[in-house]
Amino acid sequence: MADQQEPHSLASTFPNPPDFWKAFTPDRLARIEELRRAHATDEDEDDEGADAVRIPNLPEDLIALQPPPEPADGRWRVFGDQYMLDDKLPTLEEQGIDNLPAAGSSDAKDAKHYDRAFELKRLAKSLLLNFLELTGVMARSPADAEAKIKDLRTIFINIHHILNEYRPHQARESAIEMMQDHLDRTRTETAAIRTQVDKARKVLEGLGSLDLSSFKMQGQGDEDSSVQQGDAKAGLVLRTEEEKREAAVLEREAAAWATADALIL
Residues 130, 37: Cα–Cα separation, whole Å: 67
**Is 49 a residue whose pLDDT tops 80?**
no
Residue 239 identity (one-letter amino acid): R
Q: How far is CA 31 from CA 36, 43, 62, 63, in A?
A: 9, 18, 8, 12
Q: How far is CA 49 from CA 42, 44, 45, in A?
A: 14, 10, 10
What tens digit of pLDDT does each residue of 1-45 get?
444 444 454 556 777 777 888 888 999 899 888 888 887 776 655
Residues 68, 74, 77, 82, Cα dihedral to 10°: 160
Residue 20 pLDDT: 82
Q: What is the mean pLDDT of residues 196-224?
A: 70
Q: What is the three-class DSSP state of 102? A: coil
Residues 227, 234: Cα–Cα separation, whole Å: 10
CB of 99 closer than 8 Å to CB of 93: yes
Instruction: DSSP letter for 93, please.
Output: T
Which residues touch 239 (CB under 8 Å, ≥6 apart)?
A: none
Residue 166, φ and ψ in degrees, nearest 5? -85, -10
Q: What is the mean pLDDT of residues 119-140?
A: 91
Q: What is the three-class DSSP state of 75? A: strand
User: Whose CA is closest to 126, among 96, 106, 98?
Assistant: 98
What tens digit of pLDDT does each residue of 138-197 get?
888 888 888 899 999 999 999 999 888 888 888 999 999 999 999 999 999 999 999 999
Which residues touch 43 (CB under 8 Å, ≥6 apart)?
A: 50, 52
Residue 137 identity (one-letter amino acid): V
Residues 235, 230: Cα–Cα separation, whole Å: 8
Name beta bridge partners: 78.
81
CB of 209 closer than 8 Å to CB of 262: no
Residue 183 pLDDT: 96
